[in-house]
Protein backbone atom coordinates (compact mmCIF):
# COMPACT_ATOMS: atom_id res chain seq x y z
CA UNK A 1 0.00 0.00 0.00
CA UNK A 2 1.40 3.46 -0.89
CA UNK A 3 2.36 5.60 2.05
CA UNK A 4 0.23 8.70 2.92
CA UNK A 5 3.17 10.86 1.86
CA UNK A 6 3.19 9.33 -1.63
CA UNK A 7 -0.56 9.96 -2.00
CA UNK A 8 -0.39 13.52 -0.62
CA UNK A 9 2.16 14.83 -3.16
CA UNK A 10 0.18 13.91 -6.32
CA UNK A 11 -2.98 15.28 -4.71
CA UNK A 12 -1.31 18.60 -3.92
CA UNK A 13 0.02 18.86 -7.48
CA UNK A 14 -3.47 18.23 -8.88
CA UNK A 15 -4.98 20.92 -6.68
CA UNK A 16 -2.32 23.47 -7.70
CA UNK A 17 -2.93 22.68 -11.37
CA UNK A 18 -6.69 23.18 -10.88
CA UNK A 19 -6.17 26.58 -9.23
CA UNK A 20 -3.88 27.70 -12.05
CA UNK A 21 -6.43 26.52 -14.62
CA UNK A 22 -9.31 28.40 -12.99
CA UNK A 23 -7.40 31.58 -12.13
CA UNK A 24 -7.69 33.30 -15.54
CA UNK A 25 -11.48 32.82 -15.70
CA UNK A 26 -11.94 34.14 -12.14
CA UNK A 27 -9.85 37.21 -12.95
CA UNK A 28 -11.73 37.80 -16.19
CA UNK A 29 -15.12 37.80 -14.43
CA UNK A 30 -14.05 40.02 -11.53
CA UNK A 31 -14.76 43.68 -12.33
CA UNK A 32 -12.35 46.23 -10.93
CA UNK A 33 -13.67 48.77 -8.42
CA UNK A 34 -12.47 52.32 -9.11
CA UNK A 35 -12.37 54.80 -6.27
CA UNK A 36 -14.09 58.10 -7.09
CA UNK A 37 -13.76 59.93 -3.76
CA UNK A 38 -10.89 59.83 -1.30
CA UNK A 39 -12.98 61.95 1.13
CA UNK A 40 -10.02 64.19 1.88
CA UNK A 41 -8.77 66.15 -1.15
CA UNK A 42 -11.11 65.09 -3.98
CA UNK A 43 -14.69 63.89 -3.62
CA UNK A 44 -17.70 63.59 -5.91
CA UNK A 45 -21.40 63.92 -5.23
CA UNK A 46 -24.60 63.93 -7.23
CA UNK A 47 -28.35 64.45 -6.88
CA UNK A 48 -30.74 61.61 -7.80
CA UNK A 49 -32.48 61.34 -11.17
CA UNK A 50 -35.12 58.98 -9.78
CA UNK A 51 -36.07 57.02 -6.68
CA UNK A 52 -33.97 54.04 -7.68
CA UNK A 53 -33.47 51.07 -5.34
CA UNK A 54 -30.21 50.96 -3.41
CA UNK A 55 -28.70 47.46 -3.36
CA UNK A 56 -26.21 45.68 -1.13
CA UNK A 57 -23.93 44.85 -4.08
CA UNK A 58 -23.44 46.09 -7.67
CA UNK A 59 -25.87 43.59 -9.14
CA UNK A 60 -29.46 44.03 -10.24
CA UNK A 61 -30.36 40.73 -8.58
CA UNK A 62 -28.93 41.64 -5.16
CA UNK A 63 -31.21 42.69 -2.33
CA UNK A 64 -32.41 46.31 -2.19
CA UNK A 65 -32.94 47.87 1.24
CA UNK A 66 -33.90 51.51 0.59
CA UNK A 67 -34.56 53.92 -2.29
CA UNK A 68 -32.91 57.16 -3.27
CA UNK A 69 -34.95 60.21 -2.37
CA UNK A 70 -35.31 63.63 -3.91
CA UNK A 71 -35.57 65.75 -0.75
CA UNK A 72 -33.99 65.96 2.69
CA UNK A 73 -36.03 66.09 5.88
CA UNK A 74 -35.97 69.89 5.52
CA UNK A 75 -37.35 69.67 1.96
CA UNK A 76 -34.09 70.65 0.32
CA UNK A 77 -32.61 68.78 -2.68
CA UNK A 78 -31.04 65.54 -1.47
CA UNK A 79 -27.52 64.59 -2.56
CA UNK A 80 -25.30 61.54 -2.27
CA UNK A 81 -21.54 61.26 -1.83
CA UNK A 82 -20.21 58.89 -4.52
CA UNK A 83 -17.45 56.59 -3.27
CA UNK A 84 -16.55 54.22 -6.12
CA UNK A 85 -17.67 52.65 -9.40
CA UNK A 86 -17.63 49.27 -11.09
CA UNK A 87 -19.36 47.32 -13.87
CA UNK A 88 -21.42 44.16 -13.66
CA UNK A 89 -21.10 41.18 -15.99
CA UNK A 90 -23.39 42.84 -18.54
CA UNK A 91 -21.24 45.97 -18.67
CA UNK A 92 -23.71 48.15 -16.73
CA UNK A 93 -22.08 50.77 -14.49
CA UNK A 94 -22.80 50.86 -10.75
CA UNK A 95 -21.70 53.38 -8.14
CA UNK A 96 -21.36 53.07 -4.38
CA UNK A 97 -22.82 55.94 -2.34
CA UNK A 98 -22.93 57.07 1.26
CA UNK A 99 -26.48 57.11 2.57
CA UNK A 100 -28.16 59.64 4.86
CA UNK A 101 -29.90 57.12 7.10
CA UNK A 102 -29.66 54.92 10.14
CA UNK A 103 -27.53 53.02 10.92
CA UNK A 104 -24.86 55.70 10.61
CA UNK A 105 -22.21 54.92 8.03
CA UNK A 106 -24.55 53.04 5.69
CA UNK A 107 -23.49 52.63 2.06
CA UNK A 108 -25.08 50.94 -0.96
CA UNK A 109 -24.93 50.52 -4.73
CA UNK A 110 -27.10 52.16 -7.42
CA UNK A 111 -26.99 52.17 -11.19
CA UNK A 112 -25.04 55.12 -12.56
CA UNK A 113 -28.02 56.48 -14.49
CA UNK A 114 -29.92 56.89 -11.21
CA UNK A 115 -27.70 59.90 -10.39
CA UNK A 116 -27.15 63.19 -12.17
CA UNK A 117 -23.82 64.73 -13.21
CA UNK A 118 -21.00 64.58 -10.70
CA UNK A 119 -20.03 67.67 -8.75
CA UNK A 120 -16.59 67.82 -7.13
CA UNK A 121 -15.23 69.27 -3.90
CA UNK A 122 -11.68 69.46 -2.56
CA UNK A 123 -12.67 70.19 1.05
CA UNK A 124 -13.00 68.03 4.16
CA UNK A 125 -14.38 68.93 7.59
CA UNK A 126 -12.84 67.11 10.57
CA UNK A 127 -14.53 67.21 13.98
CA UNK A 128 -12.40 66.15 16.95
CA UNK A 129 -14.72 65.30 19.84
CA UNK A 130 -11.89 64.86 22.33
CA UNK A 131 -10.27 68.23 21.64
CA UNK A 132 -13.63 69.97 21.01
CA UNK A 133 -12.32 71.38 17.76
CA UNK A 134 -13.44 71.44 14.12
CA UNK A 135 -11.09 72.00 11.17
CA UNK A 136 -11.90 72.61 7.52
CA UNK A 137 -9.24 71.58 5.02
CA UNK A 138 -8.97 72.42 1.34
CA UNK A 139 -6.62 70.28 -0.71
CA UNK A 140 -5.35 68.93 2.59
CA UNK A 141 -4.47 72.34 4.06
CA UNK A 142 -6.32 73.80 7.05
CA UNK A 143 -8.21 76.98 6.10
CA UNK A 144 -10.61 77.29 9.06
CA UNK A 145 -10.86 76.02 12.62
CA UNK A 146 -13.03 76.65 15.63
CA UNK A 147 -13.71 75.49 19.16
CA UNK A 148 -17.04 73.70 19.28
CA UNK A 149 -19.69 72.06 21.40
CA UNK A 150 -20.58 68.39 20.93
CA UNK A 151 -23.05 65.90 22.37
CA UNK A 152 -23.49 65.19 26.06
CA UNK A 153 -22.62 61.81 27.53
CA UNK A 154 -26.19 60.51 27.16
CA UNK A 155 -26.64 61.94 23.65
CA UNK A 156 -23.17 61.74 22.07
CA UNK A 157 -22.21 63.07 18.68
CA UNK A 158 -21.76 59.94 16.52
CA UNK A 159 -18.34 59.15 15.08
CA UNK A 160 -17.61 58.04 11.55
CA UNK A 161 -17.52 59.30 7.98
CA UNK A 162 -20.40 61.41 6.72
CA UNK A 163 -20.96 64.44 4.44
CA UNK A 164 -22.64 67.85 4.32
CA UNK A 165 -26.08 67.62 2.67
CA UNK A 166 -27.52 71.12 2.95
CA UNK A 167 -27.16 74.62 4.35
CA UNK A 168 -30.11 76.34 6.01
CA UNK A 169 -30.10 80.04 6.81
CA UNK A 170 -32.14 81.33 9.72
CA UNK A 171 -34.07 84.55 9.12
CA UNK A 172 -33.43 85.43 12.76
CA UNK A 173 -29.94 85.06 14.20
CA UNK A 174 -31.24 84.66 17.75
CA UNK A 175 -32.60 81.11 17.37
CA UNK A 176 -31.01 78.14 19.13
CA UNK A 177 -29.37 77.32 15.77
CA UNK A 178 -27.78 80.74 15.39
CA UNK A 179 -27.66 82.37 11.94
CA UNK A 180 -27.42 79.13 9.94
CA UNK A 181 -27.11 75.37 10.09
CA UNK A 182 -25.58 72.64 7.96
CA UNK A 183 -27.42 69.34 7.70
CA UNK A 184 -25.24 66.22 7.64
CA UNK A 185 -25.76 62.56 6.75
CA UNK A 186 -25.29 61.57 10.42
CA UNK A 187 -28.17 60.87 12.82
CA UNK A 188 -28.41 61.24 16.58
CA UNK A 189 -29.52 58.59 19.05
CA UNK A 190 -32.78 60.54 19.45
CA UNK A 191 -34.92 59.25 16.60
CA UNK A 192 -37.95 61.13 17.98
CA UNK A 193 -36.11 64.46 17.62
CA UNK A 194 -37.69 66.83 15.05
CA UNK A 195 -37.03 65.80 11.43
CA UNK A 196 -35.67 62.44 12.46
CA UNK A 197 -32.68 63.51 14.51
CA UNK A 198 -30.35 64.73 11.75
CA UNK A 199 -27.00 65.84 13.19
CA UNK A 200 -26.54 69.51 12.38
CA UNK A 201 -23.56 71.84 12.52
CA UNK A 202 -24.96 75.20 13.57
CA UNK A 203 -24.54 78.42 15.48
CA UNK A 204 -25.89 79.07 18.95
CA UNK A 205 -27.78 81.55 21.09
CA UNK A 206 -25.66 80.53 24.10
CA UNK A 207 -22.06 81.32 23.15
CA UNK A 208 -20.93 81.16 26.77
CA UNK A 209 -21.37 77.37 26.94
CA UNK A 210 -18.79 76.72 24.20
CA UNK A 211 -16.58 74.77 24.04
CA UNK A 212 -18.12 71.83 25.86
CA UNK A 213 -20.26 68.71 25.78
CA UNK A 214 -23.55 70.50 25.68
CA UNK A 215 -25.82 69.24 22.90
CA UNK A 216 -28.16 66.40 21.97
CA UNK A 217 -25.62 65.30 19.34
CA UNK A 218 -25.38 68.34 17.10
CA UNK A 219 -22.15 70.31 16.69
CA UNK A 220 -22.40 73.90 17.92
CA UNK A 221 -20.11 76.61 16.57
CA UNK A 222 -19.78 80.27 17.63
CA UNK A 223 -21.89 82.43 15.33
CA UNK A 224 -19.02 84.42 13.81
CA UNK A 225 -17.19 81.21 13.02
CA UNK A 226 -20.20 79.46 11.48
CA UNK A 227 -20.72 82.47 9.19
CA UNK A 228 -17.13 82.22 8.00
CA UNK A 229 -17.48 78.46 7.55
CA UNK A 230 -20.50 79.05 5.33
CA UNK A 231 -18.32 81.10 2.96
CA UNK A 232 -15.65 78.39 2.77
CA UNK A 233 -17.43 75.01 2.87
CA UNK A 234 -19.59 73.85 -0.06
CA UNK A 235 -22.30 71.23 0.27
CA UNK A 236 -21.07 67.76 -0.58
CA UNK A 237 -18.01 68.24 1.64
CA UNK A 238 -17.00 64.98 3.39
CA UNK A 239 -17.22 65.06 7.18
CA UNK A 240 -15.09 62.96 9.52
CA UNK A 241 -16.12 62.87 13.18
CA UNK A 242 -13.45 61.24 15.32
Instruction: Please list the active-site residues.
Output: 202, 218
147: left (phi over 0), alpha (psi -120 to 50) or beta: beta
Would you say the C-alpha torsion 141, 146, 149, 153 has a positive or negative sign? positive
Cα separation, 193 vs 142, whole angstroms: 33
Q: Cα–Cα distance between 99 and 110 in angstroms, integer?
A: 11
Give the three-class secondary structure for 228: helix
Q: Determine the Cα angle at 230 with ends 205 and 39, to 5°.
A: 120
| DSSP assignment letter at 166 | E
Amino acid sequence: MPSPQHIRKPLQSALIALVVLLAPSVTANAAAVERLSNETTLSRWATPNDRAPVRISPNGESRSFVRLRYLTEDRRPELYLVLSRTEDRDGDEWVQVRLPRRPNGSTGWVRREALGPYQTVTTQLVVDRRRLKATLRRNGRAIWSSRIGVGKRGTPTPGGRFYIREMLKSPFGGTIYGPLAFGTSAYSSLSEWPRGGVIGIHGTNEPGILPGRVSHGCIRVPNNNIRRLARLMPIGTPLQIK
